[in-house]
């Protein structure tokens, strides 16, 4: 295994991703190991205002933090030395890890998430009560017509 480095990768799919990368050249076909790959998109709300960077996970439907990628899926890869981008990446990963720890602490021994308060908390009404209310409204509108 080689050293880890921050990298911006352009994939054959057209995606650009940012990740902490390690190259495994132990076989004839080298592979990339990506840690917490993300997509970064610069946003420019107004030409005279500050620019922002929108950060999203590379894959939305999984919580994995390590991916293996073959080199034939990469068009180009550069080492990123931009301290601002690295800082944004580290902050995103740190916040993601903190969110993951909050979820882990809420789980019971059986793997179910414990509801922190009253099970009815958050419900405005029951279906039955809403049905009764709507029937009363409908009947009172019918009588007025």
User: What are 20's two structure tokens?
Assistant: 């902490």
Segment 120-144 shows an average pLDDT of 74
Q: How confident is the model at residue 117 (pLDDT cuts 50, 70, 90)?
A: low
Lowest pLDDT segment from 3-12, 82-91, 104-113: 104-113
Summarised one tens digit per residue, pLDDT across range 99-116 is 766 555 554 445 555 555
Domains of the chain: which residue ranges?
Answer: 4-115
CA–CA dist 129, 113 (Å, integer): 28
pLDDT at 22 exceeding the cut of 80: yes
> How far is Cα 73 from Cα 69, in angstroms, rounded to an integer?
7
For the residues 51-74, what does the mean pLDDT come to?
91
pTM to 2 decimal places: 0.65
Query: What does the pLDDT read at residue 8?
Result: 97
pLDDT at 31 > cutoff 90: yes
Cα end-to-end span (Å), the chain: 80
* CB atoms near residue 4 (< 10 Å): 13
Measured from the Cβ of residue 96, the count of other Cβ atoms closer than 10 Å reads 16
In CATH, 4-115 is 3.30.230.10: no
> Above 90 in pLDDT, residue 145?
no
């Amino acid at each position: 295994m080689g050293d880890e480095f921050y990298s911006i990768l352009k994939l054959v799919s057209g995606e650009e991703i940012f990740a902490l990368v390690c190259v495994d050249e132990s076989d004839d076909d080298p592979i990339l190991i990506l840690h917490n790959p993300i997509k970064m998109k610069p946003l420019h709300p107004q030409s005279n205002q500050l620019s922002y960077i929108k950060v999203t996970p590379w894959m939305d439907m999984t919580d994995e933090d390590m991916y293996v990628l073959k080199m034939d899926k990469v068009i180009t890869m550069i080492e990123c030395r931009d301290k601002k981008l690295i800082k944004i990446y580290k902050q995103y990963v740190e916040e993601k890890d903190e969110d993951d720890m909050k979820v882990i602490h809420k789980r019971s021994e059986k793997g179910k998430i414990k509801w922190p308060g009253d099970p009815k908390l958050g419900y405005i009404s029951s279906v039955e009560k809403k049905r009764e209310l709507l029937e009363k409204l409908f009947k009172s509108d019918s009588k007025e017509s």
